[in-house]
Amino acid sequence: MDIGSNTARFVVFEAAAGTARAVYEAKAAPRLGSNLAPRGRLSDEAIARGVASVRRFAETVARLGVPRTLAVATSAVRDAENGPDFVREVEEATGVLLRILSGTEEARYGYLGVASAWELENDLVVDLGGGSLQLAEVRAGRLRNSVSLPLGALRLTQRFLEHDPPKTREEDALRDHVRTTLGSALEAFGGDGYRVYGIGGTIRALARAAIEFREYPIRRVHGFPLYDRDLDALGELLREMPAAKRRAIAGIGSDRADVVVAGVVVLQELLRAARVERLLVSGTGIREGIALEAIGAELPASAVALAERSAAAAAESFSFPLDHGREVAGTAVALLAVLGDRVGAGPREALALRVAAWMHDAGTAVDLWNHAQHSAYLLENYPIRGLEQREVLLAAMAAYLHQGDAPPSEWKKGYLPVIRPPDLEMAIRLGAILEAAELTTAAGPEFHLVAGGRTLSLTFSSPADTTLDPRWLEKVRKPMERVFGLEVRTRDG
């Protein structure tokens, strides 16, 4: 349970293979931080709303039989003089013990949540809440600095935006305040060249709105690139209408309609201060960070490790043979290395191929027949950590193609702008490699280019009685000739 200044959220996680996947979620909008002065008090009405929200969550915990509950409170309760009184009332009324997070702890959990989904390097993790803005600076994948700033969307709205819609002078004053505060914080960090990852309800709401306006082909917010031009367009639209009309904007909703303009201003100034044109929206944040710490997950981790944990968790959920997938992945990566420039793949494409191999038979959990298409669907929709959206689609397309099927015509337009025509060609090459790897893995193949690079030679290390598909050689020859222009020969029986 995460009790924030604007909203309260309750998530049930299923823990498996060193990762945690959300399987149930509920939220409420008690607005604890409404009309809260810097050293003020939570109002009696806000406390009543907060207690009622936690009570509903606790009833759901009991109904679902969840064995362990972790509950935290953030900015509003942290800043309020009577925050401990609220914690006591919640415990007396519901039995739930809230832990008040410091700003440093909140930033750290946000960092852990993002690190559970991405291989971090030199990055800035931004958590925009109702009462505060947490900035976590990451260097070489590790959390180096963090700061909690009083720049939450609800707090700023109440302080600066008196009218609905806001007056220009009000927004100008807000922008000046945000610019000054952010500039000082980032200057204290002393770094640059960041990638920016964004978490928090306001960021997700703006991402959903941008997805609708752009008619973006992937409808989930995790991994969505939110650009400065998206924020500029949304800012122009939202600042001109009252909150009652903003509620009708897809993605905004009633709990953010009156605070979203302030949120846009904060993000615009943040991107300017960090000198970047976009932030990558992460669907994993503070709640995931808390859950992963509780199960002892190893973070930070490489993209390969994060993706493999996701594949292992999927194998537990859907009961498909991951060991076979790992064997095929080893063969596929070896063949990719031999083909080299013919594929034109870098480390990210190689990771997509590896993930496609791990999960190429996942679709058998749905139906043996047409399982390649089911595998592609699971890859596209199951949370695979460590990959960006383009790489998820490459993996899904490679899995779809691994039985020799032709790419569907709708891919070309349906996946734009996440992938481009060159990516479609890359998916076809990866699919051909995966097809050859699955057909030959059982015999322990070794690949070599011979005859001046015109012929792919195969030798096998397994015993002569190893069973292969009776038509394996023909099936390997077809994609190698069609996709790579290679003749295929074997050097023994």
According to DSSP, the β-strands at 225-227 and 195-199 are unpaired
Task: Mark which of 101, 126, 159 sits at the end of a domain.
Answer: 101
Co-location of 348 and 214 in the same domain: no
| Residue 294, in any domain of the structure | no
Cα within 13 Å of Cα(256), Cβ side: 30
The full 3-state SS of 184-196, as one line of letters, equals: HHHHHHCCCCCEE
Model pLDDT, residue 76: 92
Model pLDDT, residue 56: 97
pTM: 0.94
Model pLDDT, residue 340: 94
Tell me how crowded residue 168 is: count the other CB atoms within 10 A of its CB. 9
Co-location of 117 and 93 in the same domain: no
The full 3-state SS of 81-139, as one line of letters, equals: CCHHHHHHHHHHHHCCCCEECCHHHHHHHHHHHHHCCCCCCCEEEEEECCCCEEEEEEE
Which CATH number does the domain housing residue 85 bear?
A: 3.30.420.40
Give me the residues of the chain with pLDDT under 70, please.
36-39, 464-465, 492-493
Task: Mark which of 101, 134, 168 sits at the end of a domain.
Answer: 101
Model pLDDT, residue 192: 86
| Mean pLDDT, rounded, of the chain | 94
- Measure the CA–CA gap between 163 and 91, rounded to whole angstroms: 38
Task: Mark which of 77, 101, 125 sits at the end of a domain.
Answer: 101
Co-location of 282 and 329 in the same domain: no
Model pLDDT, residue 463: 75
Tell me if the bond preceding 150 is cis, omega within 30° of 0: no
Range of the domain at 225: 103-289
| Residue 175, in any domain of the structure | yes
Q: How many domains does the chain fold into?
A: 3
pLDDT digits (tens, 9 = 90+) for 239-270: 999 999 999 999 998 889 999 999 999 999 99
Model pLDDT, residue 255: 86
Model pLDDT, residue 39: 60
